[in-house]
Amino acid sequence: MDDAPGTPSGAHPFHGADRTPGDGSRATPAAGEPSTDTAALSVRPTDTEAARRAAVRDQAVAAKPALARFLQVVVALFFPVIVVAAAVRAVASSSFLWLEYHRPGFPADAYGFSLDDRMTYGSYALDYVLNFAPARYLGGLVTADGEPLFLESEVGHMADVKGVLGLSFFVALVLFVLAVLACVYLARRYRGGIRRALFSGAVLTLVGIAVLTVLAVLAWQTFFTQVHALFFADGSWTFRVDDTLIRLFPEQFWTDSALTVAVLVLAATVLTLVLTWPTKARRERSMLAQDALRSRYQDALDAS
At 280, is the pLDDT very low, low, confident or very high (cuts 50, 70, 90)?
confident
Is this structure's pTM higher than 0.85? Answer: no
CB neighbour list of residue 25: distance below 8 Å, 6 or more residues apart:
19
Q: What is the pLDDT of residue 5?
A: 46
Share of the chain above pLDDT 70, in %: 72
pLDDT at 174 over 70: yes
CA distance 157 to 163: 10
CA distance 100 to 106: 7
pLDDT in tens, 43-63: 455 667 656 555 545 554 445
Share of the chain above pLDDT 90, in %: 56
pLDDT in tens, 93-138: 999 999 999 999 999 999 999 999 999 999 999 999 999 999 999 9
Q: What is the pLDDT of residue 7?
A: 44
Q: What is the pLDDT of residue 10?
A: 45
CA distance 28 to 50: 30
